[in-house]
Amino acid sequence: MTIAPPAPTVLAADEWRERESVHAARAHALTRAHRERAARREPHPVEDFLFTYYAYKPAILHRWHPGQDVELSDAADDARAAWRWYAPGSSPGSLVVDGAGLRAERGTLLANIGTILRGTAGRAPVFGCFGLHEWAMVYRQREHRHPVPLRLGQDGTDAVVEAHDLRCTHYDAFRFFTPDALPRNREAPTRERQASLEQPGCLHAGMDLYKWAVKLGPLVPGDLLLDAFELARDIRILDMQASPYDLADWGYEPVRIETAEGKAAYVRAQRGFAERGQALRGRLLGIIYG
């Protein structure tokens, strides 16, 4: 027996335009500081990461999509009628996201994302890495990724690495370890092992939810995209607060993971991010497999 796909939710023009307006205001607020700094050519060691490492321009966040199975009434004259992966809806002048066309073109990508997300979601979160990946990225190295002084100096930073067990499971963090730090890690993550190693307690796995949401394109409703961006932003702040860098000039208090109190504070925050990440991960999986 063939099961018909669910009928799309139909939004009247005034309703979806209001949602679009609310989204635009939220996205504008989230990207304002970065855009203003970019106009002044003023770098920021914490906040620029989400726009440089992931390389997604603020315009990505500003564009609202309703998500799949939502029909926009009276949208034929809207600019989105010319956007990729939009198609006419069931009523004259309406538009819907062309989920079938997107999936046909990006099926392999969606399957790969789904494999990573499902594997990560199914594992118990692991806490206790204490953000030492950032320390391993400067271990025994005089030139650093960020032009920011080290809070404990080079010798003090190296001593913290040598006093701890490195437990990084995320390939895109591990690949930036210095040569001397690589053999100190418990695991040797590779791109091929990504789906079998990632776990929901990892800060980088949480930040990557923003990347996966962008890659799913208009299948992802605007609120979910911005929620993923906000989670990535909040995680990035902790990531750098717990790093070896002295960020006092940017107004960030350190999370001193070299102390028992700092470790406890890090894990508390890490647990909260893991819970937020699992909720978003579940929503993304629902889009891929729903």
Q: Give me the tens of pLDDT residue by residue for the chain, a chain 290 residues long.
A: 444 456 679 999 999 999 999 999 999 999 999 999 999 999 999 999 999 999 899 999 999 999 999 999 999 999 999 999 999 999 999 999 999 999 999 999 999 999 999 999 999 999 989 999 999 999 998 777 778 999 999 999 999 999 999 999 999 999 999 999 999 999 999 999 999 999 999 999 999 999 999 999 999 999 999 999 999 999 999 999 999 999 999 999 999 999 999 999 999 999 999 999 999 999 999 999 97
Decide: 169 and 198 in contact? Cβ < 8 Å. yes
- Domain positions in the chain are 9-289
